Amino acid sequence: MKSILNIQGLKASVEGMPILNGVNLSINAGEVHAIMGPNGSGKSTLASVLAGNEDYEIDGGTVDYLGTDLLDMDVDERAREGVFLAFQYPVELPGVSTMNFLKQAVNSVREHQGLEPLKAAALLRLAREKAALIELDARLKQRSVNQGFSGGEKKRNEIFQLAMLEPTLAILDETDSGLDIDALRSVSNGVNQLRTPDRGFLVITHYQRLLDYLVPDFVHVMVNGKLVRSGGRELALELEEHGYDWIQDHLPE
């Protein structure tokens, strides 16, 4: 199977404080990996580091993405190469129109792929299709990016952008946080429709309930900046039953 991402011994810190302490993870095309773990274990840091957030210092390890060194690329370069991060806290951009933003994003990626830029009409059509797919209120496209959106609307807008940009590697950082059960279900449905044989997903979540709807192929548990257990879907259920203390108490020495 085609490897999308291969992380070896990744270490990262912020302001001198180590957060990732040697992460190993491999994602193949078509796979959905979930990373669970207690607050502060480093899950979101891993997502940020993979996306290219420069607030984090890389202290060691390698990240191979489709045969190239991911860590050597800037954030926008990674995005054009097909890495997408659905933010835990999407940023509000007052004044930046959603359609203008999408046009620039989609066409930056297309240009990179050697494709013609989409004209306004084609872009609108694409946006309409994708918005319907993830049940995004079409009126939100008329507004400034994320401005005044509810928590649920913001998360849905992230998945909408995912659908528009069609990345190779999609990283979902706590997309479930702040969602009620209906929103969780419909956002998960949207994501499920975006699961394709050539796309990999890394789903970061604190709670297993997301995984009821978005069923992963693999589940990893992160504690203190390391993936300490890996398994199938059943690992998430075990965690649900026993809590994170159980994992911490049963760490192999």
Partner 1 sequence: MPIVMDHRVEDRFLAAYERYQSMNGTSGPLSDLSQKAIERFAEVGFPTRKNESWKYTNITPVINRTYQIADPETTTVDGIEGLDAYRAVFVNGLFAPEHSILDGLPSGAVVESLHGASEDDLIQTHVGTYADYHQEPFTALNTAFLKDGVVIRVSSGVKLDRPVHIIHVITADQPILVQPRTLIHAGEGASIQVVYSTELKGSTSALINAVTEIHVSKEAQVEFSDLQIGTPTTSRVTNLSVYQQNQSKFQSDVFTFGGEITRNNLSIHADAEHCESLLHGLFMAREKSHIDNSTFVDHAKPNCMSSEYYKGILDEDAVGVFHGQVLVREDAQLINAYQTNRSILLTDTARMFSKPALEIYADDVKCSHGATTGQLDKEGLFYLRSRGIHEKDARRLMLTSFAGDIIEKSPIQALHEVIYGHVDRMLS
What one-character DSSP code corresponds to residue 42? S
SS3 state at 8: strand
Using the rule CB under 8 A, which residue among 4, 165, 183, 227 binds partner 1?
165
Shortest reach from residue 157's CB to partner 1, in Å = 11
108 close to 114: Cβ distance less than 8 angstroms = no
Burial class (CB in 10 A: 0-12, 13-18, 19+), 245: exposed
Q: What is the pattern of x (binds partner 1, CB under 8 A) and - over residues 127-146?
A: -----------------x--
| CB closer to partner 1, 157 vs 186 | 157
Shortest reach from residue 172's CB to partner 1, in Å = 13
Shortest reach from residue 110's CB to partner 1, in Å = 9
221: contact with partner 1 by CB under 8 A: no
Polymer length of the chain: 253
How far is the C-alpha of 166 from the C-alpha of 60, rounded, in Å? 30
Angle, CA of 128, 130 and 132, to the nearest 5°? 70
209: contact with partner 1 by CB under 8 A: no
Which residues here bind partner 1, judged by CB under 8 A? 51-53, 74-76, 79-80, 84-85, 87, 90-91, 93-97, 100-101, 104-105, 108-109, 112, 144, 161, 165
